[in-house]
Amino acid sequence: MIDQMKNDMRPATSCHCEGSQRMDCPKQSLRSPRPCGARDDGERLLKSRRASFGRGLTIALAISGSILLAAIPSAKAADSLEKAVGRIPVQAGGRTKPFASFAKESVLFVTGKTSFEGEDPTTLVWRWIAQPEIWSAKPILPVTHLRLRKHFESDLVRNRISPVLVLNDLEFKKIVNEAQIKESQEKRISQLEKKQIELYHRARLFEETAHGRMPGFIPHPGDPKISWLPLEALLSREGLEIAQNLYPKSELEQTASSLGLLLDHLRGGDFGQSYLAGERFAQSIEHVLLSRDIFLDQNAMNLEFLYLKLRPFQLAWILYLLSIIIWLAPNRQKKVTWVALALFVAGFAVHSFGFVLRMLIAGRPPVTNMYESIVWVSWGAAFFSLLFWIFFRSNLLPAVAACVATLTLIIAESCPTFLDSSISPLSPVLRSNYWLTIHVLTITLGYGAFLLNWGIAHALLYCLAFRKKRELVEHLTQYLYRSLQVGVILLASGTILGGVWAAESWGRFWGWDPKETWALIAVLAYLAVLHSRTAGWLDAFGVAFWSAVSFLTVLMAWYGVNFVLGAGLHSYGFGGGGLPYVLAFVVTDILAIVWLARRFKTVSPHH
Amino acid sequence: MKWLNDLFKFFASLKLAIFLIVILGIAFGAGTFIESYHGARAAQALIYRTQWLAVLLALLALNLLASAFDRIPWKKKHIGFLTTHLGIILMLVGALVTQAFGIEGQVQIREGETEGRMTISESLLQVIAVDSDQRWTFSVEQHIFPWTGREKLRSDFATPLNLYLVSDYPKAKREEKVIETKNGSPALHVSLVGSMASMDEWLLLESPERSSVRLGPAAVRYAKDPIQIQEQKTSGTWGTLTFHFESGGSDEIPLSPESIGKTFSIKNSSYRVSVRRILKDAVVNANELVDRSSEWLNPAVQLTLEGENLSERHTVFAKFPEFPTLHGLAPSEAHVRIAYEVSGFSPEAEKNEIRFLNRPNALPEYQVKRGSELKGGKVELNKPVETGWMDFKFTVDRYFKHAALQESYLPLPNTSGHSEAVSVIELELETLDVRKNIWLVQGEMVHVPLKGSDYHVVHGLKTRPLGFQVELKDFMMDTDPGTDRPASFKSLVTLKDPMKGIKRDQLIQMNEPLKYRGFKLYQSAYHLESGQPDISIFTAARDPGNPFKYTGAIIMVLGILALFYMKPFSTLKGSDPKLRSR
């Protein structure tokens, strides 16, 4: 079948016009008469842009180089505290994870930032534990809601407030209590009330973490599934007495003293010494567990730590961005475009590697929340561009894919508060199901094809509006159609697989759940484009324009159902907000394509 | 017959196809928004289950068929096109079969019980004459949005009374109003306000449920008799340690200053307890429990429980009996609950109470009990009174000599997730000479005395037999490590079909239903309440349309693949739309 595909996909020189009356065949194709190799075509596109992009290559390279450097974990991290204690396995959020992972999540939740005051999360959390009172009085909790800011007006420092002020505010606590009661009764609460509860939880989480009540460090030897003993158990005599029921006294005391030492160094601001103390503490914890023959999988911890430090998806978009810059840069040499392609492939490799890493850590395909699905969809776009590259040998495809993948990955990486990148256990419906995995992967891969299609549609609209070379337009037209086909097949079969899964686990094939309904609407939208194209109602411009518009239905199925409609059975995918940004993006995109269309209509002669 | 040909061409046209695709897409989209704003039932009733949508889908099927026939004589190249369209038609047929013959319902089983019927979502109204046990069934068409009006309900047989539907709220919240009447129970409205909590409530003297309110460690009561201060059972200020074993045994050990350091054996058990410390005002200081003062403010005992290869150290607080006594750990291995009772510190409801004492023809008097202290006075309207419990003050702002409770329901939006939301209807019952209005919550029964004859009115859902029986042996829920988040639900059931002599055990869990006689039973929900047997809720479904849908889906996907990627079977012309060129 691949051969078939190859044949079909090769630029045809003749048109097989044996169709029926209805399925109007476009007249003779208007593509160039000679079967041109697509390979040098892409270069021609790039060359044609050369003049407009000037001599910015060196600058561009310098900028991208510095971005790349910033992304690679700095060398000074080698003997940081993070390395020493970041890999200790802890229990938090329903699974065992390295301390660094817990620290990242709690720093993000407490401060709303991935790193605070230039300190990596692990070190920061340890400093909290060393001096809970001091940190509790520092303004570290962000207050974003305007009316909430008003409540704490006099206490805010750069729109942040200290945990102790939040927790000691009896009036605020009462408000939060009422909001929580309302939430438990009515489920729907106002944005202000949500923010009030959130702020209170931020303060509480800080308190719990800073006083060593979270996460769990020492499992119960008999049943590791119950709550592990937190650091608090090592910090007090009562706690130690309890721990002594489970573990040998000598080991515990050893750990407690190394913990004390570590905290002393941190209090004294002696970070060089704290690294050694941290290592000692990590070792002694391990010894404690070993004394009861508990051996936690350190490989899994190392893997997750690697994932956290490497930040593969950030690295991937940087590589993609570099490839774009080089593709756009003025250079006549063929080698340079190969460099760009190589960078793109490297980006794709890192992207895939990150995905596999995440899969190994979570023990499941990571497509269960918005963040993961964005990563996977952009992977899909890059994947299909490379697949098409094999058939068409055109660098246009990876170039477009690099653009959309960079865009989506930047979005995924830069909105940690909307797009939760932490790895968390699945809700019961989603567990251990083969069909479900296939269903979700197929659908989101379809989104990936449509994302690529969307990028190609924009490129094509741009080329049409600015009267670029005809071959370029023809090739883009072909890629547009091919990506549309792939998307339709994947989305249609994915939706059906969803029906099969629903029939097998809920007893109904189709239940008009908003998620499945919108997937169907997206299929219908693209089908309408395909059929209009077959009917001859849409030309290259029309197909490009309407595919770009149809992507809005994909956005609705992908994002809108969870965040706009907020109803239905797929509610396990829900998360907070980001709606204004998405709306702004959608409006901008619509304006852009309408503008391109207008320009195309006004500059080109009408038939 | 040119017009017939034209008609056929119209039904086979791509124009109609595109029109239908676009219209269906818009309709479905509207449906999802209706669902978001007005709930799933509204979307079903307004879009998904309407006749016009059925007509559109039928048109689509017709369009697909006609366009296939339009291509006769079929050639090899038509294969892709034909299979794709055949697949879609089969899926539509499957939907029709489901609509006509599919059944879906709920089966709710308590642990240890057997169920043989399923509940389907069709309303049913029954009126039962209490004396004769005669029954009449009325059919009720439920409304999608809150509705008020007057609609006569039909029954198949002659009935002794007429029923009118007056209101129908799919979701509503119960509201109570106390109104002054000529004769009825005395009532007063009291509010209790403090910085930590506040409440306000009507108290009705003669209503058993409405004469008192419990508020954590305190109670507010409206009664005829004053509070009697009883002799404290616990002797001495040093209190008593009590032990309750899960196996049933219990013991009490009175404490005194001499108890410290001593070891007592516990009756009916093999355990001993040694009292290490008794603290009068325990506080945690520098991670250690210390006595802050010698006042009895927060009594606590630290003790060691020994025996049967076990030695556990417990800290027990008199004020906080709910605290796990073995810090941070799973329950005691000895399966014992230890409490420290010191007079004045146990937070039992009766220790703190506000009581309003009814006086004929006058405002009530009040008594406030705090531990063993008792104070009182005369109630004055709108005058706050200090209770002495932290900073709580109470105020009586209204008093009726005779009052009655009037219930009504306030409609809520369909999408409301309010925890007290119920589906409720208001009925008017009419006989020759009497009329009476009642509120009827779905699933509940109301007793209606109606001039001489009594009736029971039930508004429920229809049930139908499954054809077999299912016994719930055990419901199990796992949680994620270290959290309360459910990780999986499982039900161990016994399937029974006495007619066929079948009796077998099966585990039903997510994605693993019980399959029997065309039905599938899926784990869909559960209900847990402490002290009650677990309830597991299953969805029972039979869908004969599935084979059509599955075959249709496979055929369709194969068809699309052929159409897109197998040239000999495809009428599509590669990738070649006409270009708008210059």
* Span B9-54, pLDDT tens digits: 999 999 999 999 999 999 999 999 998 888 888 999 999 999 999 9
Q: Which residues contact B369 (CB under 8 A, 6 or more apart)?
A: B227, B229, B351, B352, B353, B354, B355
Q: What tokens were used for A512? A: 């008009």
To the nearest whole Å, the CA of B423 is away from the closest chain A CA by 15
Point out the residue among A31, A225, A507 whose CB comes nearest to the CB of B539.
A507
To the nearest whole Å, the CA of A94 is away from the closest chain B CA by 5
Q: Measure the CA dihedral A247/A249/A255/A257, to 10°.
A: 160
Point out the residue among B13, B43, B70 whose CB comes nearest to the CB of A512.
B43
**What's the average model confidence in pLDDT over B194-205?**
81
Interface of A with B in 116-155 (CB under 8 A): none
* Span A542-594, pLDDT tens digits: 999 999 999 999 999 988 888 777 644 444 444 456 778 888 999 999 999 99
Among A196-205, A425-434, B225-234, B416-425, where is mean pLDDT lowest?
B225-234
Q: The pTM is what? A: 0.77
Name residue, tokens 């059972």: B233
Point out the residue among A26, A499, A566 whose CB comes nearest to the CB of B577.
A26
- Which residues in chain B have their CB less than 8 angstroms from residue A482's CB? 575
Chains A, B: CB contacts under 8 A, how many? 281
Tell if the CB–CB gap between B567 and A478 is shorter than 8 Å.
no
Tell if the CB–CB gap between A506 and B14 is shorter than 8 Å.
no
To the nearest whole Å, the CA of A341 is away from the closest chain B CA by 25
How do the domains of chain A map onto residue ranges? 42-72+311-425, 80-297, 426-607
Using CA atoms, how far apart are residues A305 and B117, in angstroms rounded to an integer?
A: 54
Contact criterion met (CB below 8 Å) for B386 and B10: no
Using CA atoms, how far apart are residues B188 and B200, in angstroms rounded to an integer?
A: 11
Tell if the CB–CB gap between A224 and B575 is shorter than 8 Å.
no
Work out the widest C-alpha separation in chain B, in whole angstroms. Answer: 115
Query: Exposure of B57 by Cβ count < 10 A (0-12 exposed, 13-18 middle, 19+ buried)?
Result: middle
To the nearest whole Å, the CA of B33 is away from the closest chain A CA by 7
| Ranges assigned E (strand) in A265-354 | none
* Span A55-105, pLDDT tens digits: 444 444 445 455 554 444 443 444 678 888 888 999 888 888 999 999 998
Question: Quick one: pLDDT band at residue B404, thresholds 50, 70, 90?
Answer: confident
pLDDT surpassing 90 at residue A45: no
Ramachandran angles phi, psi of A502, nearest 5°: -65, -40
Residue type, B68: A
Tell if the CB–CB gap between A242 and B329 is shorter than 8 Å.
yes
To the nearest whole Å, the CA of A587 is away from the closest chain B CA by 19
Interface of A with B in 222-261 (CB under 8 A): 223-230, 232-233, 235-239, 241-242, 245
* Residue of chain B with shortest Cα separation from A237: B288
Beta-bridge partner residues of B113: none
Tell if the CB–CB gap between A496 and B553 is shorter than 8 Å.
yes
What does the buried/exposed string (b/e) look like for A293-306 if buried means 16 or more CB atoms within 10 Å of the residue's CB? eeebeeebbebbbe
pLDDT surpassing 50 at residue A21: no
Percent of chain A surpassing pLDDT 70: 82
Tell if the CB–CB gap between A489 and B560 is shorter than 8 Å.
yes
Using CA atoms, how far apart are residues A327 and A380, in angstroms rounded to an integer?
A: 21
- Which residues in chain A have their CB less than 8 angstroms from residue B102's CB? 508
Closest by Cα among A287, A269, A288, A266 to A277: A266
- Which residues in chain A have their CB less than 8 angstroms from residue B417's CB? 186-188
- Which residues in chain A have their CB less than 8 angstroms from residue B83's CB? none
For testing contact with chain B, the best of A440, A496, A526, A556 (most B CBs within 10 A):
A496
For testing contact with chain A, the best of B104, B199, B576 (most A CBs within 10 A):
B576
Using CA atoms, how far apart are residues A72 and A315, in angstroms rounded to an integer?
A: 8
Q: What is the separation of C-alpha A253 from the centre of its chain, rounded to a whole number of angstroms?
A: 43
Point out the residue among A95, A534, A568 whose CB comes nearest to the CB of B480.
A95
Q: Which residue has the higher pLDDT, B100 or A51?
A: B100
Using CA atoms, how far apart are residues A31 and A477, in angstroms rounded to an integer?
A: 10
| Ranges assigned E (strand) in B360-418 | 362-370, 373-378, 385-386, 393-411
Tell if the CB–CB gap between B522 and A505 is shorter than 8 Å.
yes
Q: What is the mean pLDDT of chain A?
A: 80
Q: Residue A433: what pLDDT?
A: 65
Tell if the CB–CB gap between A567 and B28 is shorter than 8 Å.
no
Tell if the CB–CB gap between A512 and B17 is shorter than 8 Å.
no
Tell if the CB–CB gap between B522 and A531 is shorter than 8 Å.
no
Which strand ranges, in their side-by-side order, compose the sheet holding B263-265?
A: B263-265, B272-279, B300-307, B310-317
Q: Measure the CA dihedral A470/A472/A473/A477, to 10°.
A: 140
To the nearest whole Å, the CA of A317 is away from the closest chain B CA by 31
Using CA atoms, how far apart are residues A22 and B99, in angstroms rounded to an integer?
A: 33
- Which residues in chain A have their CB less than 8 angstroms from residue B561's CB? 1, 489
Point out the residue among A237, A482, A540 whose CB comes nearest to the CB of B287.
A237
Point out the residue among A223, A507, A556 whose CB comes nearest to the CB of B104.
A507
To the nearest whole Å, the CA of B221 is away from the closest chain A CA by 25
To the nearest whole Å, the CA of B12 is away from the closest chain A CA by 9
Q: Residue A19: what pLDDT?
A: 32
Q: Residue A575: what pLDDT?
A: 44
For testing contact with chain B, the best of A16, A488, A602 (most B CBs within 10 A):
A16
- The alpha-helical segments, DSSP class H, found in A329-433 are 334-362, 370-392, 396-414
Query: Exposure of B404 by Cβ count < 10 A (0-12 exposed, 13-18 middle, 19+ buried)?
Result: middle
Using CA atoms, how far apart are residues B58 and B132, in angstroms rounded to an integer?
A: 51
- Which residues in chain A have their CB less than 8 angstroms from residue B94's CB? 509
Tell if the CB–CB gap between B579 and A474 is shorter than 8 Å.
yes
Point out the residue among A17, A467, A528 whose CB comes nearest to the CB of B18.
A528
pLDDT surpassing 80 at residue B289: no
Tell if the CB–CB gap between B289 and A238 is shorter than 8 Å.
yes
To the nearest whole Å, the CA of B203 is away from the closest chain A CA by 23
Percent of chain B surpassing pLDDT 90: 23
Q: Residue A401: what pLDDT?
A: 95
To the nearest whole Å, the CA of A544 is away from the closest chain B CA by 11
Residue A342 touches partner B, C-beta closer than 8 Å: no
* Span B470-479, pLDDT tens digits: 999 988 888 7
* Residue of chain A with shortest Cα separation from B315: A238
User: How many C-beta atoms surround the C-beta of residue A65 within 10 A?
Assistant: 11
Helices (H) and strands (E) in chain A, counts: 25, 6
* Span A499-527, pLDDT tens digits: 888 887 777 888 898 889 999 999 999 99
Q: Residue A245: what pLDDT?
A: 82
* Span A307-349, pLDDT tens digits: 988 899 999 999 999 999 998 887 667 888 889 999 999 999 9
Q: Residue B572: what pLDDT?
A: 76
- Which residues in chain B have their CB less than 8 angstroms from residue A512's CB? 31, 35, 40, 43-44, 48
Name residue, tokens 């924009």: A458
Ramachandran angles phi, psi of A182, nearest 5°: -60, -40
* Residue of chain B with shortest Cα separation from A7: B567
Tell if the CB–CB gap between B565 and A541 is shorter than 8 Å.
no
Tell if the CB–CB gap between B104 and A508 is shorter than 8 Å.
yes
Closest by Cα among A289, A270, A309 to A86: A309
Q: Residue A382: what pLDDT?
A: 96
Q: Which residue has the higher pLDDT, B328 or B506?
A: B506
pLDDT surpassing 90 at residue B1: no
For testing contact with chain A, the best of B50, B311, B581, B582 (most A CBs within 10 A):
B581
Q: Measure the CA dihedral A435/A440/A446/A451, to 10°.
A: -170
Work out the widest C-alpha separation in chain A, in whole angstroms. Answer: 90
* Residue of chain A with shortest Cα separation from B553: A496
Q: Which residue has the higher pLDDT, A439 or B209?
A: A439
- Which residues in chain B have their CB less than 8 angstroms from residue A502's CB? none
Point out the residue among B35, B574, B580 whose CB comes nearest to the CB of A539.
B580
Among A18-32, A218-232, A279-293, B165-179, where is mean pLDDT lowest?
A18-32
